[in-house]
Structures are given as C-alpha cells and as structure tokens.
Amino acid sequence: MILLRRELGDVLRDHRQAQGRTLREVSASAAVSLGYLSEVERGEKEACVTSMKRAIELNPENAPALNYLGYTYAEQGLRLEEAESLILRALAISPDDGYYVDSLGWVYFRRGEYDRAIEQLERATTLANDDPTVAEHLGDAYRQVGRSVVRIGFAPGSALRLGRFVHQLDLRPELERFRAKPVPCTVVGCTTDTMTPSSHCRELAGLIGAEYGEVDAADGHIWPVTHPELVRAVLSR
C-alpha cells in the first residue's frame, strides 16, 4: 500500500507539473486543502507533518497549518494534549471555522470525552454546512453514547472531485512494476462502495497480481472503519 501510494503521488505530481500548475493553484481550483494534496503527492504523512511544523515556525499564526497538524495527531491518536493546543490556537484566529471546530471535537472523541466531542461536533456540522465528513464524526460520537444516527449517504465533495480525477488516470504502466516485482497482498472491494467500486478493486488486483476479496457492507466507502471485523475475516481466508 505504501508503494502504491507513492506511485500514485508521483503520477499526480507529474501530471500537475506537465500542466505548469503549482500545488497551491490546484488546491484553490479543486477546493481541496493544500496540506492534503501535499500529503497525497508525497505519498507519506510524515513528510507533510514536517512541512506543517516548518510552516508554523515561520508563521505561528498559520491557522491552516496549526489545524492540519493538530488534526493529524488526533487521527493517529497521538500527542492529544498538543493536538488540542494547536487546534485551539487555530480557533483563536478563526473561531467560526467549522473544520477547526470539527478537529477539536475529534480530539475530544479520541480522548474518550464523548459529551465534549458531541458539543463541538454538533456546532461544527452547522458551521461546515453539514459537510459529510464532519457529520460522520458526529455520528461516531453519537454511537459511543448510544444515540441514534442518520446515515450519511454521500461522500465529501473534495474527496469526490479527487476521486474523479484519479479515476481518469491510466496507471497501468506504473502498476506493471508491481507485477515485475510482486509484493504479496490482498485487495478488498465492497459491493456498496460507490467511490472505489468493487469492479475497480478487482481490476487492480489483476493488474498487480494480488489476491482479491469482496465484502457486502452497508456503509459504502467507510466500511473498513465501521466494520474492521470484515477486513480481518477476508484477510484470514
């Protein structure tokens, strides 16, 4: 997966540079965060974290960098006190940014402080105009306290835009490198995933000479998060 991620990042970078566009220009036109695109192109989170730390050193009031670094720590479940401090600094600059509020709520969620998480995530959902990713975070918090959840049946707009772009790429030449030096792996598709359909997963498995497994889960693209037991079941066959 790491190798494939780096190959994809290389292809995306080459495509962007061939168009003579900067990463910032792509970020603005696609409405996808600069930090996220940088991470995709690099194929690794660590390098982007280093860049964000450097950005904060140069400008301690760089709210996007503060939020990105704090949210990254929260996602990893690491350095949660520092993550809270970073995000609070971002919120001191932009107090009504729904995505920063979401990040704070996610820190509380990762610390098991579900009531505090819900308070922030409910506010974030309103501020971010019911962004599906924020709503999913709120749903996760609701489930932890036994509250009912209305499923979000669509993916974040930025993810869809990036997904459409990636699906237009012909990666077969790059994937041939994996066939030449095969790495034992299994590609798992989901019948309800509309962002990465099972047909694409099956084709990918064939292109890189991998095993293929398929599940039928109710949660679409986020099924590996909501049903990790299905991942284990497929990989243990």
Query: Tens of pLDDT along 173-230?
Result: 777 777 777 778 888 988 887 767 888 888 888 888 888 999 988 767 677 877 788 8
Please tell me which residue, 95 or 235, carries the higher pLDDT value. Answer: 95
Q: pLDDT value at position 153? A: 41
Sketch out the chain's domains with CATH numbers: 2-158 (1.25.40.10), 173-235 (3.40.50.11320)
Rounded CA-CA distance 17/179 in Å is 27
What's the longest Cα–Cα distance across the chain? 52
Q: Does pLDDT of 3 surpass 60?
A: no
Higher pLDDT, residue 71 or 193: 71
Please write the tens of the pLDDT for every residue from 72-81. 888 878 899 9
Q: What is the pTM of this model?
A: 0.50
More confident residue, 41 or 179: 179
Query: What are 122-130's contacts with CB under 8 Å, separation 24+?
Result: 123/98, 124/98, 124/99, 125/98, 126/98, 127/96, 127/97, 127/98, 127/101, 128/98, 128/99, 128/101, 128/102, 129/98
